[in-house]
Amino acid sequence: MSEITVPAMGESITEGTIYKWHVQEGDAVNQGDVLLELETDKVNLEISAEESGVVEKILRKDGETVQIGEVIGRLAAGGEAAAAASAAPAKEEPKAEEKAAPAAPSVPAEPAKEGETYLAASPAARKLAREQGIDLEQVNRDPKGRIYQENVRNHAEAPAPRPAAAAPAAQTAAPAVTGQPGKPAERQRMSRRRATIAKRLVEAQHTAAMLTTFNEVDMTAIMDIRKRRKDAFKDKHDIGLGFMSFFTKAVVGALKQFPLLNAEIDGEDIIVKKYYDIGIAVAAKEGLVVPVVRDADRLSFADIEKEIASLASKARSNTLALSELQGGTFTITNGGTFGSLMSTPILNAPQVGILGMHKIQLRPVAIDAERSENRPMMYIALSYDHRIVDGSDAVRFLVTVKELLEDPESLLLEG
């Protein structure tokens, strides 16, 4: 017998929520098979079987909050697993003259055909059905044609299968919702990550003296460089030349001139960081995450583009490691990808600065007293913690970012 426990996941994480069990009681599993998915404040983690055996007991259900080190299930391993399998009906064991024939899988990938129902049931399901005198052919199966202990229990409680009534029953059991009486509404439980994001954003507003200053950038020069160089850049580096590398370089250059925006507050002390780990906000399915591009000042444009692409891909596939989310010194967020023209970004505590990018839009710009032209313009916003960053420094920081972006060649020297 072995225990399924919640593993340690880093110093900042003490608990998680069971997002989904991928097995049920009575299922046979091999070493390395994924047993469940655990949702934490930052990432979702898969917990795998440490040895082969049969899932004997699931102690905590989907949606329950569990602590690091807590036992959430038990796995019968080795001889115990064999004993569980031997408890199945004799019908399952092949006769001597049948042993030469290929064995059917214990849990087929497709629904079992008529007369082969017993092949799709877990050992625990067979045992329970035998004890209660239930014909497995009458038990409802899951979408892949498998029968588990829970299916047998449900059948015992409802003598006749009623698949058509399942949907109305689920509607009846739905939690009560609030709102205007008689109006349609739906109650949805927040994911753990969404609840954590909500909590931290409110804390950032309550604990920091947050202000925002705005400016705009003429993107003509950057768009011209991208137009002229994108094909050669792609051929050489196997990655597209996007806007994020320009903005990352510009931010690094401005942080070097205004180091308090690359700091954090610790009690009555200010910790000024001499390195540049830039967080890039990414909108993932489960909520916003901010993976970190390490030592951005030492990376080339191509290196930055590759690192951002890799981190964004991991964020969307929910495979980011905790180490890739921790320790950023400053954050960049791009609401422009969703069409935002202007916004006020919220600080990513304990950082004291965050730059918001926005949609590029053609607008008439005065060239001199006599002429104006339509130029690709972007509003940029800097939110900062006024406790340690003075307004003059914040404004000059943003002006520096603007000037570096409008003269991209200077990024090679200043960024």
* φ, ψ dihedrals at 326, nearest 5°: -110, 150
| Cβ 272 vs Cβ 259: under 8 Å | yes
As a whole number of angstroms, the distance between CA 345 and CA 330 comes to 12
As a whole number of angstroms, the distance between CA 46 and CA 52 comes to 17
| Cβ 283 vs Cβ 318: under 8 Å | no
Enumerate the active-site residues: 386, 390
As a whole number of angstroms, the distance between CA 202 and CA 197 comes to 9
| Cβ 114 vs Cβ 87: under 8 Å | no
Q: At what angle do helices 391-406 and 244-257 cross, to 10 degrees?
A: 140
| Neighbouring C-beta atoms of residue 280, cutoff 10 Å | 24
| Neighbouring C-beta atoms of residue 48, cutoff 10 Å | 16
Cα angle: 346, vertex 44, 296; to 5 degrees: 50
As a whole number of angstroms, the distance between CA 13 and CA 2 comes to 24
- Torsion 320-281-278-228 (CA) sign: positive
As a whole number of angstroms, the distance between CA 223 and CA 216 comes to 15
As a whole number of angstroms, the distance between CA 29 and CA 50 comes to 10
Nearest CA-CA partner of 130 in 111, 110, 156, 160:
156
What letter would DSSP give residue 24?
Answer: -
- Torsion 388-389-392-397 (CA) sign: positive
As a whole number of angstroms, the distance between CA 241 and CA 249 comes to 13
- Torsion 222-226-228-234 (CA) sign: positive
Overall residue count recorded for the chain in this entry: 415
